């Protein structure tokens, strides 16, 4: 059952609502044609006929960085030790198994898990374009179309960040695993990306540069121009590893951030993912160009990448968003609190972001990074995408309701999500997905199929 906006006008009664700056008790919101049409405060009890959402309702969470197939690695990559680079070899072996059909099944289950976690929109950093060995499918965008269908059938919105991935590293040809990622040149990447059929309510198309090591410097501008001409979001993995920085300096005499700046990649529609190992000049280039930064703390710590300078880049002018990336866990509340707690460990001081600021990164700023500027707030005219977090679980019971935002960010988990509404429709009701009734089984079966 694909995602379609709620056609019949509906009223929701929110026991408590986060309105961007504070928690408001007793709020009703009217929904028609998938958007909020009115918001009324002071409703102490539900009006007749209203759908009752008890707990704290916040705008839907935006997962700004996802690799859906990495979900199949959960648990497996926790055996033994190693580095990002040894993890990557395991990732390649999983990628080699995927077909359009198996990718659809896995992604549908992963996106349903996201809906259960209160995520209403995901940015899929998509580079699994072709068959193993690089052979094109009859539909060159079959893998992307599988993701588009999966998001629709899981009931969430999708920004498909179609990714240019052309090189094994600074001009080296793709290795045997990477052949299915590569279009050969940025021009051929753009031709294929132009053919993505995405005339559907739930999807928008953006672009991505996998990294400066995977797209030759002279072709970076082609990808940036494609996104700029379409006013589409552009994402890029940036300085995730010190080895990438060192190789870029050796090849170009520039840091990755400087190289992106030289080729017109930075700007307000661009989001740098990770940005873990930055120089002071890098921070200035990102902030002064209002390039966004997407932090993925659970993946960054799982892969031992390091702690990115989130506070510094935001102070300089970069808006922050959050992503679950490799899906070591899928929990945007955990990503939000991890950003603050990691900064506490680094600085040995507390309180770098308020709960409101962390929720903004997880909602409005995340949606903006994905090209959904009309989502991420509870106000008339916005898309009717929101989620409700229980305030009576073993994690959340006790604090005063006016502290519900602090409770959600610093105590709650994805397990506390009770309801998720997308386009005015309840996709999750009382903790149960309405379109994918048994999400654990869907995950287990789709992952088992990849083991042969």
Contact 378, 17 (CB under 8 A): yes
Distance CA 77, CA 303 (A): 10
3-state secondary structure of 18: strand
Sign of the alpha-carbon dihedral angle for 28, 32, 36, 38: negative
Q: Which two tokens stand for residue 61?
A: 């969470």
CA angle 426, 432, 434 (to 5 degrees): 45
The tokens describing 15, both together, are 């026991």
- Judging by DSSP bridges, how do beta strands 23-32 and 10-18 pair with one another? antiparallel
DSSP result, 221-253: HHHHHHHHHHT--EEEEES-SHHHHHHHHHHHS
Go through the chain and tell me how many residues it has.
452
Looking up tokens 């997880």 gives 362
- Give the β-pairing of 234-238 and 203-209: parallel
Is the CB of residue 123 less than 8 Å from the CB of residue 165? Answer: no
Beta bridge partners of 158: 122, 203
Q: Which secondary-structure segment (H or E) carries 194? A: helix 186-194
Q: In what order do the strands lie in the sheet with 234-238?
A: 61-66, 119-126, 157-164, 203-209, 234-238, 270-274, 292-295, 320-322
Nearest alpha carbon to residue 296 among 348, 244, 331: 331
Catalytic site positions: 274, 325
Helix H or strand E encompassing 338: helix 332-347
Report the distance separating Cα 46 and Cα 24, nearest Å. 14
From first CA to last CA, the distance across the chain in angstroms is: 28
Decide if 11 contacts 49 (C-beta within 8 A): yes
């Amino acid at each position: 059952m694909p995602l379609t906006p709620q056609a019949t006008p509906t009223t929701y009664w929110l026991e408590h609502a986060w309105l961007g700056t504070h928690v408001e008790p007793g709020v009703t919101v009217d929904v028609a044609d998938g958007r909020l049409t009115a918001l009324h405060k002071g409703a102490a009890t539900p009006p007749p006929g209203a759908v009752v959402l008890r707990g704290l309702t916040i705008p839907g969470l935006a997962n700004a960085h996802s690799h859906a197939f990495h979900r199949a690695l959960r648990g497996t990559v926790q055996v033994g030790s190693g580095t990002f680079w040894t993890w990557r070899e395991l990732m390649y072996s999983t990628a080699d198994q995927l077909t359009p059909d198996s990718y659809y099944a896995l992604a549908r289950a992963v996106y349903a898990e996201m809906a259960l976690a209160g995520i209403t929109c995901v940015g899929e950093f998509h580079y699994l374009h072709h068959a193993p060995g690089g052979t094109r499918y009859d539909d060159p965008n079959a893998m992307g179309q599988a993701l588009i269908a999966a998001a629709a059938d899981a009931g969430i919105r999708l920004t498909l960040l179609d990714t240019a991935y052309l090189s094994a590293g600074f001009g080296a040809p793709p290795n045997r695993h990477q052949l299915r990622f590569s279009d050969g040149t940025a021009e051929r990447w753009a031709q294929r990306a132009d053919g993505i059929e995405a005339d559907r309510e739930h999807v928008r198309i953006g672009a991505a540069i996998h990294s400066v090591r995977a797209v030759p410097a002279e072709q970076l501008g082609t990808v940036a121009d494609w996104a700029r001409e379409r006013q589409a979001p552009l994402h890029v993995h940036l300085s995730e590893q010190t080895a990438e920085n060192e190789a870029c300096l050796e090849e170009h005499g520039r840091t990755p951030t400087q190289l992106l700046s030289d080729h017109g990649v930075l700007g307000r529609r661009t989001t740098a993912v990770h940005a873990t190992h930055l120089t002071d000049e890098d921070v200035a280039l990102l902030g002064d160009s209002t390039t966004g930064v997407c932090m993925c703390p659970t993946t960054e710590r799982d892969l031992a990448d390091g702690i990115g300078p989130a506070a510094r880049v935001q102070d300089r002018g970069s808006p922050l968003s959050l992503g679950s990336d490799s899906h070591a866990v899928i929990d945007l509340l955990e990503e939000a609190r991890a950003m603050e707690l990691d900064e506490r460990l680094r600085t040995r001081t507390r309180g770098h972001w308020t709960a409101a600021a962390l929720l903004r990164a997880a909602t409005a700023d995340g949606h903006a990074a994905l090209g959904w500027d009309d989502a991420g707030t509870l106000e008339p005219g916005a898309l009717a995408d929101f989620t409700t977090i229980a305030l009576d679980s073993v994690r959340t019971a006790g604090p005063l309701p006016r502290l519900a935002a602090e409770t959600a960010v610093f105590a709650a988990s994805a397990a506390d999500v009770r309801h998720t509404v997308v386009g005015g429709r309840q996709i999750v009701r009382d903790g149960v997905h309405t379109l994918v009734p048994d999400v654990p089984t869907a995950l287990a079966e789709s992952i088992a199929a990849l083991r042969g």
